[in-house]
Amino acid sequence: MIRSRKVLLTAIFLAAACSVQPQPTTDELITTFQQNLNNFEELRDLAFADVAACSVKANGAPCYLRIKVGDDGTTDSFNENDEFWIPNASQYQALTRSIGLPETFLSASNESVEIVAYRAGLSVSGVLISYEWHQESPEPIFSSIDEIRENQDSQSYVYGYQDLGDNWYLYYSRN
């Protein structure tokens, strides 16, 4: 009796630990972007301001920032030197929550910004969907990320972008 309870509790725990949120549809992602375009642009501008401030502090050296916004209200940030505190941390938290991304990662350089919308799996395998702004058009561009999602051939790694306008893109990768 005790052993069967342990097995049952272990099974319930493993099922809960392995549950994954369903991937948002392309229409949901586009609607979120269109309804929150001002917030996305404010996030981009904040990230660029922090990259510029980091570069000044680093005596002109280029900076690459990574910010983790937690659903528990925490915001962790670091750059490649792990020396720069992000002064706009609370603003990142407020903006990502208002977009509907209470837990996300944001990465920025002086040429691009990535805001993760969905991720599942391990770092070496899984799915990543993000909103990205690029100074130069990335490649490959597809008319819809659904073309990539539906690509079920034998490739172990597929990725691509969908143009949302004004240098904004949806990015999808699966490996």
Q: pLDDT band at 124, cuts 50/70/90?
A: low
With vertex at residue 33, the alpha carbon angle to CA 101 and CA 166, rounded to the nearest 5 degrees, is 130
Instruction: Calculate the average pLDDT of the chain.
Output: 80
Taking only the tens place, the pLDDT of each residue in 9-58 is: 333 333 334 446 788 999 999 999 999 999 999 999 999 988 888 777 77
Domain boundaries along the sequence of the chain: 24-174
What digits encode the pLDDT tens for the residues 54-92? 777 777 777 777 888 876 656 665 555 455 556 677 888
Q: What share of the chain is helix, strand, coil (3-state, %, to 5)?
A: 35, 30, 35
Interval 141-164: pLDDT, tens: 999 999 888 776 656 788 999 999
Q: What is this structure's pTM?
A: 0.81
CA dist 20 and 88 (Å) reads 31
Give SS3 for 102: coil
**Gyration radius from the chain CA atoms:** 19
User: Quick one: DSSP state of residue 138?
Assistant: -
Residue 102: both structure tokens together:
């209470």
3-state secondary structure of 56: helix
**Residue 27 CB: number of other CB atoms within 10 A?**
10
